[in-house]
Structure 1
Amino acid sequence: MGEASVKTLETRTDVSSPLVTESEVRTGPERTLLARLRSPRRPRIWFEILLIAVSYWTYSLIRNAVPEQKAAALANADWIWNAERSLGIAVEQTVNHAVNSVTWLIVGMNYYYATLHFIVTIGVLVWIYRFHPGRYAATRLVLFATTGVALVGYYLYPLAPPRLMNGQNFVDTVLVHHTWGSMASGNLKNMSNQYAAMPSMHIGWSLWCGLTIFAVASAPWARILGLLYPAATLVVIVATANHFWLDAVGGMLCLAFGYTASRAWFGSLPHRLPRHPLYAGPHPATALLNRFRR
């Protein structure tokens, strides 16, 4: 997604949000601290790397610190599976068995599940940081708020993935095909909470990537790929028996919360903010810190 091949829709999206007006760009005393904090500004690479690293470490720590509650998680999985069967929408086992019968396909999906979740998400963050700095903070806030509210779901609703259900004959494709990378199967299963399947952040993050690309990119092929990515991810999480498709609905709801939080803070959806930040001064938190140092 280089600058030459993925251009922005300047005429469509490079407009100021209701929050960021010319009067708010001024650095005079009439500009409140809150308004300055809510104004998009050019991100700093060292701060972003540190913030993302610390945030993901904290997220992983909290997610894995949530009590596994195995009995409750298995009971919840049975309830969801029985409810889906009653409604005639229980397709997970059919998809799991069908895809598992094609070795090259399921092995590819195992690696897809283990790697693209991180690679594509980081790639989209870097792309927005590099070419759309005015939209970066709002876009990042969507991702962070989505991930943060997911932790509430893990705590309140422990859920076993289909592959761990008792007596339902789901195939744990990582174990069967001896592929690497899944933190929820094989030798790495003790490093991750296996009963935190609801909501699915594979869907939350992939849909965030897809919508970000679709909203900002102008190249038709890029926008199409943006929409295909979360759709392919949905197939993968079901085929590998890592999630019920209702877990994906949970991920979508978390993402909706993330967009709501970002819009409330910045006064606009991320793609409607200016491509380049209007306010170029130092971050107000830096100025506040300097005052305490004096």
Structure 2
Amino acid sequence: MGEPTEIHAADAERAERGARDGSDPGTDHTARTPGGATRVAQTPTAALRGRLREQRRTPRRPRLLFELALIGISYWLYSLVRNAVPEQAAIAQKHSSWVWDLEHTLGIAVERSINHGVNSVTWLIVGMNYYYATLHFIITIGVLVWLYRSHPGRYAATRTVLFITTGIALVGFYFFPLAPPRLMTDGGFIDTVKVHDTWGSMASGAGAHVSNQFAAMPSMHIGWSMWCGLTIFFLARRTWVRVLGLAYPLVTLSVIVSTANHFWLDAVGGEICLLVGFLAARVIYHNWVYRLPRRPDDPAEQALTVPVSWDTKVSA
């Protein structure tokens, strides 16, 4: 018994349309991978989530040239923005007086005594001046290189912590200009760079006119040194290296106070920025940065946590 003419006509029309479009009528819009598994068409958002999920499961370090360019451009932008903040001297002096009074209230205002005491030991304070001017660059870059070479699976996430921390600091520089202790009008602190004619500081001497001298809150010497110290402590294998990692931010704290470049509370601000950086990276990578796998090609280190809502497995 024949089928109605209308049905044959509709089938013929579908077949003709399928031939024109290069598709087979009657099949769904799926594709098969070389292994034979069905791959369902995804929206751009789902595809992005899939790529991010895959990167978390098999994290890989960025290409070297890309990373060098990223770090160079990021530091250039950091310096540009930091130094472009208006140097509001009156407001910065007011803020420094407020911080100094608060520290007196808290009973921790001992920076001036430390500054004068260490300044009396010439070799020590001169060494601290050079330490302050140079070491935060050398150590930070060294830790980045070590991470890139020895911990490729953790590099991008740990570097992200540093970038976020620094970005938050720029907000602090803009909205809370603060005169460092050595520049307080009636603070009685000693500017050790000027007194000992030490080379290297952009905050005193000949370089002062090209640097924002009121970008003291938060202290990135502390933020960066603590980032380095924690990274070394959690990832280094030798005990003495881990101890040095923990000692580094403590020595840096003594240096920034002795040279009158920061208050104690500036250091607290730097630590808060770093904490936010770690928490932000935890949200991005869904794991603490030091718990990510060391190398992406190690099967024993692939057990990363991925949110259930991001699991796009399709049942057969």
- Counterpart mapping for 1:272-291 below 5 A: 272-277=291-296
Q: Say which of 95, 99, 106 aligns to 1:87.
A: 106
Partner residue, 2:138: 119
What is the alpha-carbon distance in structure 2 between the residues aligned to residue 35 and residue 226 of structure 1? 37
Partner residue, 1:22: none
Partner residue, 1:36: 51
**Contact map agreement 1:200 1:247 (CA 8 A) in 2:** yes
User: Alpha-carbon deviation of 1:36?
Assistant: 2.1
What is the alpha-carbon distance in structure 2 between the residues aligned to residue 141 and residue 267 of structure 1? 13
**Structure 2, unpaired ranges of 5+:** 1-38, 299-316
Q: Which amino acid aligns with 1:195?
A: F
Q: Say which of 85, 107, 110 aligns to 2:126.
A: 107
State the Cα deviation string for residues 67-125 of structure 1 (Å, max 9, x = none). 11110100000011112112221010011000000000000000000111100000000
**Contact map agreement 1:41 1:278 (CA 8 A) in 2:** no
Q: Which amino acid aligns with 2:238?
A: A
SS at 1:159 equivalent: coil
User: Alpha-carbon deviation of 1:277?
Assistant: 2.3
Q: TM-score, normalised by structure 2?
A: 0.77
RMSD of aligned residue pairs (Cα, Å): 1.5
Q: Which amino acid aligns with 2:51?
A: R
What is the alpha-carbon distance in structure 1 between the residues aligned to residue 122 and residue 71 of structure 2? 36
What is the alpha-carbon distance in structure 2 between the residues aligned to residue 91 and residue 34 of structure 1? 51
**Structure 1, unpaired ranges of 5+:** 1-27, 280-294
What is the alpha-carbon distance in structure 2 between the residues aligned to residue 138 and residue 153 of structure 1? 23
Q: Say which of 188, 198, 203 aligns to 2:207.
A: 188
Q: Say which of 256, 269, 275 aligns to 1:256.
A: 275
What is the alpha-carbon distance in structure 1 between the residues aligned to residue 151 and residue 251 of structure 2? 26
For residues 35 and 140 of structure 1, do their structure 2 counterparts lie closer, same or farther at Cα, with a shift above 3 Å needed?
farther
Higher relative contact order (CA 8 A, sep 6+): 1
SS at 2:129 equivalent: helix
- Counterpart mapping for 1:216-231 below 5 A: 216-231=235-250
Partner residue, 2:148: 129
Q: TM-score, normalised by structure 1?
A: 0.83
Q: How many residues align?
A: 252
What is the alpha-carbon distance in structure 1 between the residues aligned to residue 223 and residue 272 of structure 2? 8
What is the alpha-carbon distance in structure 1 between the residues aligned to residue 72 and residue 116 of structure 2? 37
What is the alpha-carbon distance in structure 2 between the residues aligned to residue 212 and residue 181 of structure 1? 27
SS at 2:185 equivalent: coil
Q: Which amino acid aligns with 1:33?
A: L
What is the alpha-carbon distance in structure 2 between the residues aligned to residue 136 and residue 149 of structure 1? 20
Taking only the aligned residue pairs, the percentage that are identical comes to 66
State the Cα deviation string for residues 113-154 of structure 1 (Å, max 9, x = none). 011110000000000000000000001000000000111111
For residues 266 and 187 of structure 1, do their structure 2 counterparts lie closer, same or farther at Cα, with a shift above 3 Å needed?
same
**Larger-Rg structure:** 2
